[in-house]
Every structure is written in C-alpha cells, then in structure tokens.
Structure 1
Amino acid sequence: MNYKRILLKLSGESLMGDKQYGIDNERVRQYAEDIRDVVAKGIEIAIVIGGGNIFRGLSAEKSGMDRAQADYMGMLATVINSMALQDALEKVGVKTRLMTAIKMEQICEPFIRRRAMRHLEKGRVVIFGAGTGNPYFTTDSAAALRAIEIKADAVMKGTRVDGIYTADPEKDASAVRFDEITFREVFAKNLNVMDMTAFTLCEENKLPIIVFDMNKQGNFMKLASGEKIGTLVRG
C-alpha cells in the first residue's frame, strides 16, 4: 500500500446515483464496500461529504436567501449524507465515528483533532460532517483543512469523471485528460479542481490531490494500492 492515511472527499451529488435528488442507497452501498476493502488493507481513512444532493447554499443565496443562513443549512445537509454513509459502512462491518464541526451530541461527536487521529489509529473510519462549521467555506475547504490537521498523505477526490480534463468531458468530446499536473499549471490553465481556498491550502502544505472516478467499483482500491488512475496534482 502506498498510503497510510487518506482523506476521501465525496460530493453530495455523487450520492444521488441516477436520481435527480436525495440519496441512492445502491450507490452508497457501493462506496461503503469500496471503502471497506481499502480499510481491510490497513489504510486509515477519513471522509468529507458535500451536501449538494439535498441543499446548496450558493444556489439558495442566488434565489435571495441570506448567504450565512443558507450555508448553515448546507452544513446540515452534509450531516444527513454523513449519517447515510456511516450506516452503510457499519452494515458492511466497518467501525466508524461521525464527527461534526457543529455540536450535535445526540448523533455524533464534536470534532476534536487528537480524538479524530486516535480513532483513525484504532482502525475506525472517521467521517467529518458540517464542513468547517463556518459559512462562506465549502466542503472542499473542509476536506483540505481536515486532511492537513490529521496529517493525511493525500486528498482523494472521488467524482463521476476519471480525472482532470482540459474542459468538461461531459460537454466537450475533445477534452483531454491529464495524468499528472502541478498546482501552478492548474492555476495557469484555470481548471476547476477544487475551490481556490481549498486548492491553495493543499499547495501551501504540499498535500497532493488525486481526482478519480469513484463510481467505478474497485477504483478506490486500485488508487490506494498505487495504480496510476485519475489525475495527480502536486507541486
């Protein structure tokens, strides 16, 4: 195994599967099985999930809602997704802990950095919910921040495309995929990998990002085993 500790970032939209809204239980089950297989190899995994399948703060702001209020609602959506993944993981035999940046004692633990690292050392999958706990920050920023805090070896961003392209491959058939690219090249080419705050955090802390297709079963294991799939971003 090439990695000791991984931060896996999943978008909320990825949990929809083929649905237009909400959570596809089959997709969540597939993710849980893939994560279980990697955990079985002794790799420590932390997870951050977005909430866009339920509520998007930015979209709500455009329709007239106060941005801070909308972002807090989005944080609650990430907790719903985190609970769904936690349930799926435990159903396939994976021990988990859900930790959130906003206190919700009845359903999860508050985020405490040392406690999170201890859970990981004990082989538990730690799911970080509610983003950073602050409005105006995305779950990409939460993923970058938590990865740095827990000393992860990489951020692996699971999406529905198999890497970073010169353009959106779902809209432009001529788009070309990068196998590897530097942070500076991403800036220069104005490519959409993560939001700028998250991306800058990763660059400044020399934390590599790997973008890959999480929807293809087995890809997460291949990546964790050192196979070159997706796109690697590094300094």
Structure 2
Amino acid sequence: MTTKKADYIWFNGEMTPWGEAKVHRLHSPLVFVGDVGMGVNPPEGYTTDVIIAAFPWGAYLGAEALDQGIDAMVSSWNRAAPNTIPTAAKAGGNYLSSLLVGSEARRHGYQEGIALDVNGFLSEGAGENLFEVKDGVIYTPPFTSSALPGITRDAIIKLAKDLGIEVREQVLSRESLYLADEVFMSGTAAEITPVRSVDRIQVGEGRCGPITKRIQQAFFGLFTGETEDKWGWLDQVNP
C-alpha cells in the first residue's frame, strides 16, 4: 500500500507536485467488494477493489475552528452498541451514525455533534474522537464506549505522554464535559479542534486552552516536518 500511495501522489503531480503543494489534500482510501452482483452474501473467493480519492481540504469544522474553537451539542442519537456492527472499524456503513449526529447538531446551529454510547456515557464526535482536560490530565473515552480507535487519537496520546501530560482512557459521563477545563476533538479531517462550548455551556475560558494548544503545536510541528519524527510516522515520497 505504501508503494501504491507514493505512485498515486506522483501521478497527481501535475496538479500539486509533492513538496510544492500550497493546499492540504485529504487522501481517502476505499476498499470494497466489486463486481459480485446484488445481495449481501458475496461468493467465496471474492476479491476486493481499492480506490484512493484525493480532495482539496481546508479546515473541516471552519476556518477559525483550530484557533477559536467550535460550539458542540450532545446528540439525541447514540453510537451503535458494540455487538451490533463493528464500531471499531472505519467502515462506510458506520457513517450513517455520523450523519445523524452531525446533521442534528447543524440543524440546531452547532458546528458539531457529540454522541453518547448505549449506556449514556461519552463516545465520540460525529466524525472525531473526543478528549477533555481536567486539572492538567487528559481524558478520553475507551473503545468499550464505541469510540473509534482513530489514528489521530493514538498520535495525540503518544504526543501528550512525550510532553509529560498524563492521559487516562476511562468511561466519562456527559456532565464531565460541562465541568472540564478544556475539550477538544481529533481526526484526520478535523485534526485537533478545540470545543469552546457544549450545549451552550462554556468550556473553560471559551477558547483553545493551554494543553490543547501544546498538543496542537506538537501535532502540526511533527506533520509539517518542523520537529523530529521520533515514531517513524512520516514517509518521504520522492518523484
């Protein structure tokens, strides 16, 4: 997959030569079962197809969101229970839940929605993992709360620990958002976006908090090549 990715980026070089790009692009791979006919029972020995779409990508939750934060609401829609669909999978069908949570929030004037799990505890945003900060400690819901094991989530946990910030994965109540010093969301598209209010209740000072800012600086510093990649996360792609 690494080789194919490198070829793909260079194939699109006429639009945005690697190393000279002036805009961010989101590369979205999709693996699917192709020509097997109608139905939900693909035959034995079926093959999968892969496509990778590249989209010019700005700020997912708004141009000012990374600095000023967003307003979010807790959705009336729950995340699916773990034994209904594979909630840990980055699967197309799971995005129906995201659509319901996110569209409800935007209908009510919020930038994003937050879903609870079937037990009423925090799960994640419509398209992002969720973090809160209290007394200098970062908290995030566990996978047992139907939270996606996101790549960006994993990176944040490692970066925070490298900065000497304690991170705890634990079951979190809805009201913990209202009492948090800081709240932020993470994802490939959302990157690291602070949340300034939840259900019209201001979070902390109502802007990007100091720990969120430190995580942002470490994250963007690494992925723009300004700071050392200690984990080997970056692949150099040369034409």
TM-score (norm 1): 0.25
Structure showing greater relative contact order (alpha-carbon pairs closer than 8 Å, 6 or more residues apart): 1
- Larger Rg belongs to: 2
TM-score (norm 2): 0.25
Instruction: Name the structure with the higher strand share.
Output: 2
